């Protein structure tokens, strides 16, 4: 589930970021402002519309329901837009003079240069998906279709809790994200530094 969410978020963010950062088209600033609106309001506002979409598609208790909210990310689009804008335009102009079309310029010239930003986005998206609690409890109440965080919350009883089991599960939940960050630490720091974002 996390891999699919990261893949969708990176794909949509890098395509939208490239379009908003490098291409010229009418109402570009308006569309960018529209994309930034979800960053300015609390995430909880979107829960009811997303729930209605998942419910009417009959996708409750499925992986699709867990992936849907993070498939398109405003933060990722902003991060990729900043990364593409920081690249010199002479690279694209040289590729255009060599006969490369827009797809080739994006795929072979610009995309490899923003690899560190995509790694940063992947880590952020994986972290957000991994620690998400409310959404999996709403759309995936069955234990076989939920995430680890939501499953851990079910270990706590109403009147008593098995704290050793709960703490062991919490430690196991921390390990994957810690390992992922340690492996990709260099790219993560480079991506944040080159995109102009702040930690």
Radius of gyration, CA atoms only, the chain? 20
Please report which helix (H) or strand (E) contains residue 27, including its range. none
Residue 198's pLDDT is 46
Tell me if residue 156 falls in helix, strand or coil: strand
pLDDT tens digits, 162-176? 788 888 888 888 888
Task: Give the Cα separation of 195 and 123 in Å (integer).
Answer: 15
pLDDT in tens, 33-74: 998 888 888 888 888 998 999 899 888 888 888 888 888 889
Burial of 125 (0-12, 13-18, 19+ CB in 10 A): buried
For 196, other C-beta atoms within 10 Å of its C-beta total 12
Per-residue pLDDT of 126-151, as tens digits, reads 888 888 888 888 888 776 777 777 77
DSSP symbol at 23: -
Look at residue 199 in the predicted model and tell me its pLDDT.
43
- Per-residue pLDDT of 63-106, as tens digits, reads 888 888 888 889 999 999 999 998 888 888 888 888 889 888 99
Q: How many domains does the chain have?
A: 1
pTM comes to: 0.78
Q: Which residue range is the domain that position 103 belongs to?
A: 2-195
Q: Detail the DSSP E strand segments found in 69-128.
A: none
The CATH number given to whatever domain includes residue 62 is 1.10.3720.10
């Amino acid at each position: 589930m996390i891999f699919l969410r990261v893949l969708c978020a990176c794909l949509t963010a890098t395509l939208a970021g490239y379009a908003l950062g490098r291409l010229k088209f009418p109402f570009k600033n308006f569309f960018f402002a529209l994309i930034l609106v979800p960053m300015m309001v609390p995430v909880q506002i979107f829960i009811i519309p997303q729930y209605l979409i998942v419910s009417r598609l009959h996708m409750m208790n499925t992986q699709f329901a867990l992936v849907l909210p993070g498939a398109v990310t405003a933060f990722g689009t902003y991060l990729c837009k900043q990364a593409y804008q920081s690249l010199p335009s002479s690279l694209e102009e040289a590729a255009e003079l060599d006969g490369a079309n827009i797809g080739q310029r994006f795929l072979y010239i610009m995309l490899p240069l923003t690899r560190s930003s995509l790694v940063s986005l992947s880590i952020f998206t994986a972290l957000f998906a991994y620690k998400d609690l409310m959404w999996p409890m709403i759309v995936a109440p069955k234990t076989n279709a939920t995430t680890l965080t939501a499953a851990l919350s079910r270990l706590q009883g109403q009147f008593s809790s098995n704290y050793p089991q709960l703490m062991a599960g919490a430690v196991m939940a921390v390990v994957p994200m810690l390992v992922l960050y340690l492996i990709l630490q260099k790219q993560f720091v480079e991506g944040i530094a080159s995109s102009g974002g702040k930690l």
